[in-house]
Structure 1
């Protein structure tokens, strides 16, 4: 029997894949699925890794938290598993690409919007219906949506609780792309290949820079050190030399 989250090893192109695999339950997240995903985003990346892809099987990307076993708390400060997972994705040191073949509802939508890139089928919808259930998204999760969507669209997503189609979200630059379902995998593969072709130290430093805000409590000294290390790396010299020689660079993460 396959696990409910399939964790694939980093492939030769530097791409790691995490696949939600509970299609009969619309990939609603159980505590065990949360544990697997949180571990996958809090452990140190494989040295060969450049990008993580988060996708799903079935017709729905993720219907959110399984209400049949809805979990509260999880750590001493009371952060929910959803809040822990969203924070871990946002803080992950390498790019994360969400590929939505179907709707991302409730916590599923929040998870997607915490990824660095979202590529979605044009008929997919994203939203959080917590308000319609008498619930409220965790403060850090709601603030992250506000930062990405700005007030008007964040209010529509969270206060109305309706799902918004991927085409509209892409037109408003809230997700990377909304494409015909037949082009979804090709588009996602092209994006991840472009990301994976970049220097790993640069990817890490830029991701750290983007995360260096009060919400994630990042240490700016560490961010500056990561930037400096990337600038002085062998990969930086290789990148400049390859551009001069009009060839593809060979990055080694050093």
Structure 2
């Protein structure tokens, strides 16, 4: 079905591999189109409880965009390119099911932006992050100026974007860009370990956590009011009743997503 990505479903976890190792998994328009279709699967396939986005190979998550495609792009086409990227990455960010970025090497430019669109990030020890677009006379175009600033603060984000520098995995951990750093061969195991914990929780509650946390960065939404509404809505679910009863009865809850 796909030519530039690879997918597999294991233990209710949907793995999406950016699969262009000969190009350091660089994003081109075909990758973006296929990634959008794979993200649609996350929304529509009830067997999928969560997802992991990663890269094929041991060198790169996504080492940036396919620059060769930029040589004939006009200003209008450039804006259209960015808009398409924004739509795909916002779908990732707004997914009611958790999506983790497992960053297995270089995450530069569009790769860093893809990782930041995920709900959180874990990185291998050899990972590198950066927004080097200024080296091409460009700026980040897939949400990088906004998400990087939100994640690590304005000062650090502006320095990274204006110098085009890269940071290593441990710096990314210290700056709050990633949640965990592990050895490369432990990366997928770590993702599975975290998601196994999340799968044991109420899926409707998880979706509401995502929705409310995203609202904290949306100027058009009163996140506090949304939290009140979503908190109240939880009380109308079977999952909340099950969770409360399980707690009182000192047993593990069995959530059904209703």
What secondary structure is seen at the aligned counterpart in 2 of 1:80?
helix
Q: Please list, as runs of the form range in 1=range in 2, the aligned pairs for 1:9-20 lying within 5 A after superposition.
A: 9=9, 11=10, 13-20=11-18
What is the CA-CA distance between 1:165 and the residue it aligns to?
A: 0.5
Query: Which runs of 5 or more structure 2 residues have no equivalent in the other structure?
Result: none
Q: How many residues align?
A: 252
C-alpha contact 2:101 2:121 (8 A) present in aligned 1: yes
1:237 alignment partner in structure 2: 241
What is the CA-CA distance between 1:131 and the residue it aligns to?
A: 0.8
Relative to the length of structure 2, the TM-score reads: 0.85
Query: What is the distance in 2 between the residues matched to 1:17 and 1:124?
Result: 19
Note closer, same or farther for the CA distance 1:227–1:64 as it changes in structure 2 (3 Å cut): farther
Note closer, same or farther for the CA distance 1:64–1:166 as it changes in structure 2 (3 Å cut): same
Q: Please list, as runs of the form range in 1=range in 2, the aligned pairs for 1:32-181 lying within 5 A after superposition.
A: 32-42=30-40, 44-58=43-57, 59-70=59-70, 79-138=82-141, 140-181=143-184
Query: What is the distance in 2 between the residues matched to 1:172 and 1:199?
Result: 30
Note closer, same or farther for the CA distance 1:126–1:53 as it changes in structure 2 (3 Å cut): same
What's the C-alpha RMSD, in Å, of the aligned pairs?
2.8
What secondary structure is seen at the aligned counterpart in 2 of 1:61?
strand
Query: What is the distance in 2 between the residues matched to 1:242 and 1:117?
Result: 29
What secondary structure is seen at the aligned counterpart in 1 of 2:123?
strand
What is the CA-CA distance between 1:127 and the residue it aligns to?
A: 0.6
Note closer, same or farther for the CA distance 1:141–1:88 as it changes in structure 2 (3 Å cut): farther
2:6 alignment partner in structure 1: 6
Query: Which runs of 5 or more structure 1 residues have no equivalent in the other structure?
Result: none
Query: What is the distance in 1 between the residues matched to 2:230 and 2:14?
Result: 22
What is the CA-CA distance between 1:189 and the residue it aligns to?
A: 1.5
What is the CA-CA distance between 1:148 and the residue it aligns to?
A: 0.9
What is the CA-CA distance between 1:138 and the residue it aligns to?
A: 3.0
Query: What is the distance in 2 between the residues matched to 1:74 and 1:51?
Result: 34
What secondary structure is seen at the aligned counterpart in 2 of 1:248?
coil
What secondary structure is seen at the aligned counterpart in 1 of 2:60?
coil
What is the CA-CA distance between 1:23 and the residue it aligns to?
A: 0.8
Note closer, same or farther for the CA distance 1:226–1:46 as it changes in structure 2 (3 Å cut): farther
Note closer, same or farther for the CA distance 1:173–1:213 as it changes in structure 2 (3 Å cut): closer
What is the CA-CA distance between 1:227 and the residue it aligns to?
A: 4.0
Query: What is the distance in 2 between the residues matched to 1:74 and 1:230?
Result: 44
Query: What is the distance in 1 between the residues matched to 2:62 and 2:81?
Result: 24
What secondary structure is seen at the aligned counterpart in 1 of 2:181?
strand
Note closer, same or farther for the CA distance 1:62–1:77 as it changes in structure 2 (3 Å cut): closer
Query: What is the distance in 2 between the residues matched to 1:235 and 1:196?
Result: 13
Query: What is the distance in 1 between the residues matched to 2:109 and 2:81?
Result: 20
Is 1:228 matched with 2:232?
yes
Query: What is the distance in 1 between the residues matched to 2:96 and 2:13?
Result: 14
